[in-house]
Protein backbone atom coordinates (compact mmCIF):
# COMPACT_ATOMS: atom_id res chain seq x y z
CA UNK A 1 0.00 0.00 0.00
CA UNK A 2 1.27 3.46 -0.91
CA UNK A 3 0.30 6.74 0.69
CA UNK A 4 1.36 10.33 0.19
CA UNK A 5 3.24 11.56 3.22
CA UNK A 6 3.70 15.01 4.72
CA UNK A 7 6.43 15.09 7.40
CA UNK A 8 6.37 18.82 8.09
CA UNK A 9 9.16 21.13 9.20
CA UNK A 10 9.84 19.91 12.72
CA UNK A 11 10.27 16.30 11.63
CA UNK A 12 13.07 17.38 9.35
CA UNK A 13 14.89 19.14 12.19
CA UNK A 14 14.22 18.69 15.92
CA UNK A 15 11.95 15.64 15.62
CA UNK A 16 13.84 13.49 13.10
CA UNK A 17 13.24 10.33 15.11
CA UNK A 18 9.48 10.73 14.79
CA UNK A 19 9.90 10.82 11.00
CA UNK A 20 12.57 8.11 10.64
CA UNK A 21 10.80 5.61 12.84
CA UNK A 22 7.48 6.31 11.13
CA UNK A 23 8.92 5.39 7.73
CA UNK A 24 10.74 2.27 8.95
CA UNK A 25 7.75 0.95 10.86
CA UNK A 26 5.39 1.59 7.96
CA UNK A 27 7.56 -0.55 5.68
CA UNK A 28 7.53 -3.42 8.18
CA UNK A 29 3.74 -3.14 8.35
CA UNK A 30 3.37 -3.25 4.56
CA UNK A 31 2.95 0.47 3.86
CA UNK A 32 5.14 2.79 1.79
CA UNK A 33 5.07 6.48 2.70
CA UNK A 34 5.89 8.60 -0.35
CA UNK A 35 6.98 12.06 0.75
CA UNK A 36 5.25 14.94 -1.02
CA UNK A 37 7.69 16.75 -3.31
CA UNK A 38 8.42 20.44 -2.78
CA UNK A 39 6.18 20.72 0.27
CA UNK A 40 6.11 23.83 2.42
CA UNK A 41 5.30 24.49 6.08
CA UNK A 42 1.65 23.76 6.89
CA UNK A 43 1.41 27.13 8.62
CA UNK A 44 1.95 25.86 12.16
CA UNK A 45 -1.50 26.76 13.42
CA UNK A 46 -4.97 26.94 11.88
CA UNK A 47 -6.20 30.50 12.12
CA UNK A 48 -9.96 30.95 12.42
CA UNK A 49 -10.09 34.40 10.83
CA UNK A 50 -12.46 34.20 7.87
CA UNK A 51 -10.42 36.59 5.74
CA UNK A 52 -7.10 34.77 6.31
CA UNK A 53 -6.17 32.58 3.34
CA UNK A 54 -2.42 32.86 2.74
CA UNK A 55 -1.21 30.63 5.58
CA UNK A 56 -3.50 27.81 4.47
CA UNK A 57 -2.39 27.66 0.83
CA UNK A 58 0.55 25.35 1.49
CA UNK A 59 -1.79 22.83 3.14
CA UNK A 60 -4.09 22.96 0.11
CA UNK A 61 -1.11 22.33 -2.19
CA UNK A 62 -0.20 19.27 -0.12
CA UNK A 63 -3.75 17.96 -0.33
CA UNK A 64 -3.94 18.59 -4.08
CA UNK A 65 -0.66 16.80 -4.65
CA UNK A 66 -1.96 13.67 -2.93
CA UNK A 67 -5.20 13.87 -4.92
CA UNK A 68 -3.31 14.05 -8.20
CA UNK A 69 -1.48 10.86 -7.24
CA UNK A 70 -4.81 9.26 -6.26
CA UNK A 71 -3.43 8.58 -2.80
CA UNK A 72 -4.63 9.26 0.72
CA UNK A 73 -2.43 11.60 2.76
CA UNK A 74 -0.65 10.55 5.97
CA UNK A 75 0.68 12.93 8.61
CA UNK A 76 2.49 12.21 11.90
CA UNK A 77 3.04 15.50 13.71
CA UNK A 78 -0.04 16.43 15.75
CA UNK A 79 0.19 20.11 14.84
CA UNK A 80 0.61 19.45 11.11
CA UNK A 81 -2.27 17.00 11.15
CA UNK A 82 -4.52 19.50 12.88
CA UNK A 83 -3.76 22.27 10.39
CA UNK A 84 -4.08 20.10 7.29
CA UNK A 85 -7.26 18.40 8.52
CA UNK A 86 -8.93 21.68 9.46
CA UNK A 87 -7.93 23.23 6.15
CA UNK A 88 -9.41 20.30 4.26
CA UNK A 89 -12.60 20.55 6.30
CA UNK A 90 -12.85 24.25 5.47
CA UNK A 91 -12.42 23.48 1.77
CA UNK A 92 -15.29 20.99 2.03
CA UNK A 93 -17.70 23.07 4.09
CA UNK A 94 -16.91 26.77 3.68
CA UNK A 95 -17.77 27.79 0.11
CA UNK A 96 -16.57 31.36 0.59
CA UNK A 97 -13.18 30.23 1.86
CA UNK A 98 -12.83 27.54 -0.80
CA UNK A 99 -13.70 30.07 -3.49
CA UNK A 100 -11.02 32.50 -2.34
CA UNK A 101 -8.42 29.71 -2.22
CA UNK A 102 -9.27 28.35 -5.66
CA UNK A 103 -9.30 31.79 -7.26
CA UNK A 104 -5.97 32.65 -5.67
CA UNK A 105 -4.27 29.44 -6.77
CA UNK A 106 -5.66 29.66 -10.31
CA UNK A 107 -5.22 25.94 -10.85
CA UNK A 108 -7.48 22.92 -10.92
CA UNK A 109 -10.27 23.45 -8.41
CA UNK A 110 -9.97 21.62 -5.11
CA UNK A 111 -12.88 21.02 -2.74
CA UNK A 112 -11.52 18.77 -0.01
CA UNK A 113 -11.55 15.41 -1.82
CA UNK A 114 -8.34 13.99 -0.27
CA UNK A 115 -8.61 11.38 2.48
CA UNK A 116 -6.36 12.23 5.45
CA UNK A 117 -5.00 9.81 8.03
CA UNK A 118 -2.95 10.54 11.08
CA UNK A 119 -0.33 7.81 11.51
CA UNK A 120 -2.31 6.45 14.45
CA UNK A 121 -5.44 6.26 12.30
CA UNK A 122 -3.46 4.55 9.54
CA UNK A 123 -2.52 1.83 12.01
CA UNK A 124 -5.99 1.49 13.51
CA UNK A 125 -8.16 1.87 10.41
CA UNK A 126 -6.00 0.56 7.55
CA UNK A 127 -3.24 -1.68 8.88
CA UNK A 128 -5.00 -3.02 11.97
CA UNK A 129 -3.72 -3.89 15.42
CA UNK A 130 -3.61 -7.59 14.56
CA UNK A 131 -0.95 -6.83 11.94
CA UNK A 132 1.02 -4.85 14.54
CA UNK A 133 0.88 -7.79 16.95
CA UNK A 134 1.94 -10.16 14.17
CA UNK A 135 4.97 -8.01 13.31
CA UNK A 136 6.04 -7.36 16.90
CA UNK A 137 9.33 -9.15 17.58
CA UNK A 138 10.19 -7.38 20.80
CA UNK A 139 7.04 -7.08 22.95
CA UNK A 140 7.35 -4.29 25.49
CA UNK A 141 6.07 -6.43 28.33
CA UNK A 142 6.53 -4.89 31.75
CA UNK A 143 6.57 -1.29 30.54
CA UNK A 144 3.91 1.02 31.95
CA UNK A 145 3.29 3.64 29.30
CA UNK A 146 1.13 6.74 29.60
CA UNK A 147 -0.34 8.12 26.38
CA UNK A 148 -0.32 11.90 26.14
CA UNK A 149 -2.70 13.27 23.53
CA UNK A 150 -2.46 16.99 24.20
CA UNK A 151 -4.80 19.41 22.44
CA UNK A 152 -4.35 19.07 18.73
CA UNK A 153 -4.99 15.40 17.96
CA UNK A 154 -8.52 15.43 19.33
CA UNK A 155 -9.85 18.97 18.98
CA UNK A 156 -12.01 20.32 17.52
CA UNK A 157 -13.77 16.97 17.56
CA UNK A 158 -16.30 18.07 14.93
CA UNK A 159 -13.40 18.20 12.47
CA UNK A 160 -10.70 15.84 13.74
CA UNK A 161 -13.01 12.89 14.45
CA UNK A 162 -10.11 10.72 15.53
CA UNK A 163 -11.43 9.52 18.85
CA UNK A 164 -13.55 10.47 21.84
CA UNK A 165 -12.04 13.84 22.88
CA UNK A 166 -12.80 13.22 26.55
CA UNK A 167 -11.98 9.52 26.78
CA UNK A 168 -9.70 8.55 23.86
CA UNK A 169 -8.19 5.11 23.41
CA UNK A 170 -6.33 5.07 20.08
CA UNK A 171 -2.84 5.41 21.60
CA UNK A 172 -3.63 3.04 24.47
CA UNK A 173 -4.78 0.43 21.97
CA UNK A 174 -1.46 0.70 20.14
CA UNK A 175 0.44 0.42 23.44
CA UNK A 176 -1.42 -2.80 24.23
CA UNK A 177 -0.85 -4.14 20.71
CA UNK A 178 2.94 -3.99 21.26
CA UNK A 179 2.67 -5.78 24.58
CA UNK A 180 2.99 -2.93 27.08
CA UNK A 181 0.62 -1.80 29.81
CA UNK A 182 -1.36 1.35 29.02
CA UNK A 183 -1.59 3.72 31.95
CA UNK A 184 -4.76 5.82 31.92
CA UNK A 185 -4.52 9.05 33.92
CA UNK A 186 -6.62 12.23 34.32
CA UNK A 187 -4.45 14.73 32.41
CA UNK A 188 -3.75 12.73 29.24
CA UNK A 189 -5.73 15.07 26.97
CA UNK A 190 -5.03 18.37 28.74
CA UNK A 191 -2.88 21.18 27.29
CA UNK A 192 0.85 21.18 28.09
CA UNK A 193 1.09 24.96 27.66
CA UNK A 194 3.42 24.70 24.70
CA UNK A 195 2.01 27.68 22.81
CA UNK A 196 2.51 30.07 25.75
CA UNK A 197 6.06 29.02 26.70
CA UNK A 198 7.75 32.07 25.20
CA UNK A 199 5.18 34.43 26.67
CA UNK A 200 4.70 32.87 30.10
CA UNK A 201 7.19 30.12 30.97
CA UNK A 202 5.84 29.72 34.51
CA UNK A 203 2.34 29.01 33.27
CA UNK A 204 3.71 26.59 30.69
CA UNK A 205 5.72 24.78 33.38
CA UNK A 206 2.65 24.60 35.60
CA UNK A 207 0.53 22.99 32.90
CA UNK A 208 3.24 20.57 31.79
CA UNK A 209 4.06 19.53 35.35
CA UNK A 210 0.39 18.82 35.98
CA UNK A 211 0.46 16.37 33.05
CA UNK A 212 3.71 14.61 33.96
CA UNK A 213 2.90 14.41 37.66
CA UNK A 214 -0.52 12.95 36.87
CA UNK A 215 1.08 10.26 34.68
CA UNK A 216 3.75 9.49 37.28
CA UNK A 217 1.18 9.27 40.08
CA UNK A 218 -0.78 6.74 38.00
CA UNK A 219 2.32 4.52 37.83
CA UNK A 220 3.74 5.33 34.40
CA UNK A 221 7.44 4.93 33.74
CA UNK A 222 7.23 6.42 30.21
CA UNK A 223 5.09 9.08 28.53
CA UNK A 224 4.44 8.72 24.82
CA UNK A 225 3.24 11.46 22.47
CA UNK A 226 2.86 12.25 18.77
CA UNK A 227 3.55 15.96 19.16
CA UNK A 228 7.11 17.40 18.98
CA UNK A 229 6.01 20.54 20.84
CA UNK A 230 4.45 18.49 23.65
CA UNK A 231 7.62 16.41 23.99
CA UNK A 232 9.79 19.50 24.10
CA UNK A 233 7.57 21.27 26.60
CA UNK A 234 7.25 18.34 28.98
CA UNK A 235 11.01 17.86 28.97
CA UNK A 236 11.70 21.58 29.28
CA UNK A 237 9.47 21.72 32.32
CA UNK A 238 11.51 19.02 34.08
CA UNK A 239 9.47 15.86 33.52
CA UNK A 240 10.93 13.15 35.77
CA UNK A 241 10.13 10.23 33.47
CA UNK A 242 11.18 9.73 29.82
CA UNK A 243 9.03 11.27 27.08
CA UNK A 244 9.19 9.46 23.73
CA UNK A 245 7.43 9.46 20.39
CA UNK A 246 4.82 6.89 19.43
CA UNK A 247 6.92 5.77 16.47
CA UNK A 248 9.98 5.24 18.66
CA UNK A 249 8.06 2.78 20.82
CA UNK A 250 6.68 1.07 17.75
CA UNK A 251 10.15 0.82 16.21
CA UNK A 252 11.45 -0.82 19.36
CA UNK A 253 8.64 -3.36 19.32
CA UNK A 254 9.05 -4.09 15.60
CA UNK A 255 12.81 -4.48 15.95
CA UNK A 256 13.82 -1.61 13.64
CA UNK A 257 14.84 1.05 16.13
CA UNK A 258 18.61 0.56 15.68
CA UNK A 259 18.23 0.64 11.90
CA UNK A 260 17.17 4.31 12.00
CA UNK A 261 20.40 5.51 13.61
CA UNK A 262 22.14 6.35 10.35
Residue 103 has pLDDT above 70, yes or no: yes
Q: If pLDDT is split at 50, 70 and 90, which confidence band does 252 have? A: very high
CA distances from 88 to 11, 153, 157, 164 (A): 21, 15, 14, 21
Residues 6 or more apart whose CB falls under 8 angstroms from that of 193 comprise 203, 204, 205, 206, 207, 208, 233
pLDDT at 177: 98
Q: pTM value? A: 0.95
Q: Which of 64, 63, 5 is nearest to 31 (CA)?
A: 5
Q: If pLDDT is split at 50, 70 and 90, which confidence band does 107 have? A: confident
Long-range pairs for 100-109: beta carbons < 8 A, 24 or more residues apart: 100/53, 101/53, 101/56, 101/57, 101/60, 104/53, 104/57, 105/57, 105/60, 105/61, 107/64, 108/64
pLDDT at 260: 44
pLDDT tens digits, one per residue of 137-148: 999 999 999 999
117 beta partners? 74
CA distances from 127 to 35, 66, 109, 119, 121 (A): 19, 19, 31, 10, 9
Question: Average pLDDT for residues 134-162, to the nearest whole number?
Answer: 97
Neighbours of 123 (CB within 10 A): 24
Residue scoring higher pLDDT (48 or 100): 100
Q: Which of 217, 221, 135 is nearest to 177 (CA)?
A: 135
User: What SS3 class is residue 60?
Assistant: helix
Residue 175 has pLDDT above 80, yes or no: yes
Instruction: Answer for the pair 240, 11: CB distance below 8 angstroms, yes or no.
Output: no
pLDDT mean across residues, the chain: 95
By percentage, how much of the chain surpasses pLDDT 70?
98
Residues 6 or more apart whose CB falls under 8 angstroms from that of 38 comprise none
Pick the CATH number of 129-260 from 3.20.20.80, 3.40.50.1860, 2.30.110.10, 3.40.640.10: 3.40.50.1860
Q: If pLDDT is split at 50, 70 and 90, which confidence band does 261 have? A: very low
Residues 6 or more apart whose CB falls under 8 angstroms from that of 195 comprise 45, 229
User: What SS3 class is residue 2?
Assistant: strand
pLDDT tens digits, one per residue of 46-86: 988 878 899 999 999 999 999 999 999 999 999 999 999 99
| CA atoms of 252 and 21, how far apart (whole Å) | 9
Instruction: Answer for the pair 166, 177: CB distance below 8 angstroms, yes or no.
Output: no
pLDDT at 49: 83
Asked if the domains at 2-119 and 129-260 fall in one CATH topology, the answer is no
Residues 6 or more apart whose CB falls under 8 angstroms from that of 221 comprise 143, 144, 145, 241, 242
pLDDT tens digits, one per residue of 109-120: 999 999 999 999
Orientation of helix 246-254 relative to helix 170-177, angle to 10°: 20
pLDDT at 259: 53
Q: If pLDDT is split at 50, 70 and 90, which confidence band does 262 have? A: very low
pLDDT at 182: 98
User: What SS3 class is residue 224?
Assistant: strand
| CA atoms of 96 and 260, how far apart (whole Å) | 45
Domain 2-119 bears CATH identifier 1.20.1050.140: yes
* Domain ranges across the chain: 2-119, 129-260
| CA atoms of 154 and 148, how far apart (whole Å) | 11
Amino acid sequence: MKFSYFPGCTLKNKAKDLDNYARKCAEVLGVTLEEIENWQCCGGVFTTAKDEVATKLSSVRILKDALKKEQALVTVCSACHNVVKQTNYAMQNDKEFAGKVNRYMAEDEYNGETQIYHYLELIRDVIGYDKVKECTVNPLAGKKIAAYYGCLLLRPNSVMRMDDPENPSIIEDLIRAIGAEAVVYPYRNECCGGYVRLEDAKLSDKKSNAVSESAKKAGADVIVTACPLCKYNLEKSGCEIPVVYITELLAEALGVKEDTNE
